[in-house]
Amino acid sequence: MDLEAVTKHSAFHAKPSGLTLQYGTAGFRTTAAHLDHIMFRMGLLAVLRSKHTRSTIGVMVTASHNPEEDNGVKLIDPLGEMLAPSWEEHATCLANAEEQDILRVLTDISEKESVDLQQDAFIVLGRDTRPSSEKLSQSVIDGVTVLGGQFHDYSLLTTPQLHYMVYCRNTGGQYGKATIEGYCQKLSKAFMELIKQASCSGDENRSVKVDCANGIGALKLKEMQRYFSQGLSLQLFNDGTRGKLNHLCGADFVKTHQKLPQGMEIKSNERCCSFDGDADRIVYFYCDAGGHLHLIDGDKIATLVSSFLKELLLEVGESLNIGVVQTAYANGSSTRYLEEVMKVPVYCTKTGVKHLHHKAQEFDIGVYFEANGHGTALFSKAVEVKIKQLAELEDEKGKAAKMLANIINLFNQAAGDAISDMLVIEAILVLKGLTVQQWDALYTDLPNRQLKVKVADRRVISTTDAERQAVTPPGLQEAINDLVKKYKLARAFVRPSGTEDVVRVYAEADSQENADSLAYEVSLAVYQLAGGIGERPQSSF
Ligand code: G16
């Protein structure tokens, strides 16, 4: 390590005094103006991680669903997964070190993790379309190069595309080619093969309107559209040419506010979907003849995917171990439907795809989706091999196995991916001959409401039982329990966000009015017991 060079360059990326940040749900996130030092330091850390794992590591500059003024960064581990938890701690430590302590922290990490400093390091970078992203990714590159790391800058990419690139590079190309072309070809080939296999005509309307949140998803869909245009026609809205990123549009807005995105012309019963700012989440929706919005969120995506996979497995004659992973945000109706009607085991983890992904790896086939539309399906290596063998058969079994093999190729198994998930959903709808309305009718969501409460320090809230119970501050869980008792079919929980400086509140009940009241009352309890700041929670939405 050229310690002198690190010190010199670090001074160009000074940490604002008094600023403390934590590696949260999906890396560091805050206002872009406060992130220069974080980017430089994550460049340094990525080099150490790459030397330690002897693999390519990814660094993605994005704040995903957050407002345009924010930005963020996360590191991607060798198999396209989120950074290992022990290294998240190193990241937080390095991010918050005072200037004079940087070298000591770097040395500590290297010693603790037995990093061979002579080892080569290779980093790949991607960034979203935020105005601040290009400059911030230059700061990452400064950190990478000062520690002698080599790099490749993919520049504009969706987050899941960078996860895919990392996975491809570290598996010797077995998973796919680590280029945009490789990504487009792999997904579109699988999609077109699946469409060809459809025996019934299904929903003839193979066109979807896509709200791109004014983000990177629009650019990448435009780039990719020609590869599958014969199978699916897309109409893109909020493509970034006019509106602001994530503002009144995008998956997070539609899901949280339960409102149609602005900037989209929608006729009744048209199939629509929304991506988020970095295209790692997707939700579907349509408006009925009465103008009522029907939201089809991550829970219903998990249901559609797992029921399709279960059916295929039956046809293939394989009884594999399939599991669905959700979080506390999963609608109670979805969990009931999966367990009682579909007879699929369901598991609940903490929020954050890293937790869901990890749990899903325990199954032959693990389907994980957060209600917000972030998710994918994972297939064990043994399953992939077996299905590929069966796909060689020229009988009905072989036909089902071919379908399954294509579905395996169509999923981005490195990370939840709005583009890949959209193609999977579209293929399943065609293959099953389902309309979006029939899909929606699988079960009825319990009315629910999500709110945010500002508090002085959201860390005063700690939780247990996959975030379904608050441990601190004292009295909060008891207050929630008392409020929940007032309503039918009710449930509520609170948790500190890992991507925004707020406490999140979730409530569901037998009617929208009751879900709204419960969410409001729980918000007031948070405000009173956890040190609320600013305006008190409002009861109107
Ligand atoms: C990120 C994570 C998701 C998580 C979301 C909200 O999404 O990847 O797993 O559900 O943040 O997290 P929190 O409630 O802790 O703020 P994204 O799409 O913003 O990267």
Is 64 catalytic? The answer is: yes
HSE-up of residue 391 (Cα within 13 Å, Cβ side): 17
**Quick one: tokens of 183?**
């990504």
| pLDDT at residue number 205 | 63
Binding residues for Mg(2+): 64, 276, 278, 280
Supply the mean pLDDT for the chain.
95
**Quick one: tokens of 379?**
């297939």
The angle subtended at Cα 153 by Cα 149 and Cα 156, nearest 5°, is 150
For 174-194, what is each residue's pLDDT tens digit? 999 999 999 999 999 999 999
What CA–CA distances, in Å, run from 427 to 186, 302, 306, 417, 485?
Answer: 15, 15, 14, 15, 43
Query: Residue 16: how many CB atoms within 10 A of its CB?
Result: 10
**Closest to 191 measured CA to CA, from 392, 422, 31:** 422
Q: Find the catalytic residue in 10, 64, 307, 420.
A: 64
Dist CA 65 CA 282 (whole Å): 11
> Quick one: which atom of ligand 1 is closest to the CA of 280?
18
What does pTM read for this prediction?
Answer: 0.96
Ligand 1 centroid to Cα of residue 450, in Å, is 14
For 203-244, what is each residue's pLDDT tens digit? 556 899 999 999 999 999 999 999 998 899 999 999 999 999
Query: Does residue 458 line the site of ligand 1, with CB under 6 A?
Result: no
> Quick one: which atom of ligand 1 is closest to the CA of 276?
18
For 100-153, what is each residue's pLDDT tens digit? 999 999 999 999 999 999 999 999 999 999 999 999 999 999 999 999 999 999
Give, rounded to a whole angstrom, the gap between the first and last alpha carbons of the chain: 55
Cβ contact 397:389 at 8 Å: no
Query: Does residue 351 line the site of ligand 1, with CB under 6 A?
Result: yes
Query: Does residue 62 line the site of ligand 1, with CB under 6 A?
Result: no
Helix (H) or strand (E) holding 133: helix 133-146
Residue nearest to atom 6 of ligand 1 (CA): 499
